[in-house]
Amino acid sequence: MFDPYTIRKDFPIFERKVNGHEIIYFDNAATSQKPLQVIDAVKDFYKKHNANVHRGLHTLSQEASELYEEAHNEVAKFINANSMEEIVFTKNTTEAINLVAYSWGLHKLGEGDEVLTTLMEHHSNIVPWEILSKIKRFKVKYVNVKEDGTLDYESLENLVTRKTKLITVTHASNVTGAINNISKISKLAHDNNAIIVVDGAQSVPHMPVDVKRLDIDFLAFSGHKMLAPTGIGVLYAKKELLEKMEPFIGGGDMIRSVKYDKAKGCMIEWHHLPWKFEAGTPNVCSAIGLTEAIRYLKRLGMENVQEHERQLTQYTLKLLQKDEKISLYGPSDTSIKCGIISFNIKNMDYNDVALLLDNFGIMVRSGYHCAEPLHQRLSIKGSVRASFYIYNTKEEVEKFVDVLKMIEDVG
């Protein structure tokens, strides 16, 4: 049974108070809190197994290597990848997308090519492509977003041409919560001999994601948004793509050999997958934390996680839609929306609203949420964002709404 009240007992941060109030943490789209199981797994690694991986024959190094490789296997099973060879660890979603840009895009894109992205993207799925387009002289085209914050699929279909080489899109908006139809987009991409990159930062932690069923070429997501420590991210990629790609970062552990020849210089042979793309000493302890985070989520069931957030979102929207002073952004249909609600209180600054909520121990996000083009499209300068996760409850939602009404009176 999925019980958020029982789940909360695993999270020690909820034992503290802020400004005399129990914490209501509604900033999960930025990062999630960590359960004791994850915290203890990281502590256990440092207490018993700490060593560098793939570099030593001694017991500690062998143990650390096994735990690190186990983490890759756990991620592969979680998203239904073929094997750990398709799982590359990065430090976050941003680095994973940049890896695609510079290991694939730098060698595959050129003048006359086109990359499609959307106006709802996080800056991490805009900026790398814009930077690379200046180097390789391809064009970045932007798919429109409708007034309700959902993707304009007609705009997408109209923008696809024989020049389209890549479509890169978020699975779920970190502003409106709108969930995009990845199966439909991947089919459109592949029917036009293009590949698809999916930003899964707001989807993988909150719903079942099956890379085979969705036919995704590249998927990027972050551990810290799904109960794991910071500093660990994931790039999933089809093996046939990774095998043909050049490494993004060079150094130790991503090579089989470096042999010097007086006439030719150093001749380099890359390591096998996925180590070819994991140069240097990795974040082993965070990878182990990610393993335990995934196991925790699997015990809960990702379908249950998604349904819990859907119910919270539906309940919150029901309460807020009654308030004429609240402007809501994004779809109201919770079947195509994840647990994110962005809003403004009329005639009040979004940052002021967030600070006033903090006085009551309620943690939200305010500003552009690293998605300035979407705010421009919605004709707003910024917004307040509440985002839910497994440990949030209806009682927290009710207090949140009550405090918003108090803030309105102050405003």
Q: List active site positions.
A: 370
Q: Of 141, 142, 203, 205, which Cα lies nearest the Cα of 178?
A: 203
Q: Which two tokens stand for residue 30?
A: 């930025």
- With beta carbons less than 8 A apart as the criterion, state whether 219 and 211 touch: yes
For the record, the structure tokens of 220 come out as 């990027």
H helix intervals, 226-349: 239-244, 284-300, 302-320
3 state DSSP class of 49: helix
Whether 129 contacts 104, CB under 8 Å: no
Beta bridge partners of 255: 270
CA 277 to chain centre: 19
Whether 50 and 42 have beta carbons less than 8 Å apart is answered as: no
Please name the amino acid found at residue 78. Answer: F
Helix or strand run (H / E) with residue 7? helix 4-7
Nearby residues of 168 by Cβ (< 8 Å), 6 or more positions away: 97, 100, 115, 116, 117, 121, 125, 129, 196, 197, 198, 199
Structural contact between residues 79 and 236, judged by C-beta atoms closer than 8 angstroms? yes
Token pair in block for residue 269: 């042979």
Measure the CA–CA gap between 396 and 394, rounded to whole angstroms.
Answer: 5
Place of tokens 């699975």: 171
- What distance lies between CA 210 and its chain's CA centroid? 15
Report the alpha-carbon distance of residue 215 to residue 155 in Å, rounded. Answer: 22
Position 343: which residue type?
Answer: F
Angle between helices 394-410 and 350-358 (to 10 degrees): 120
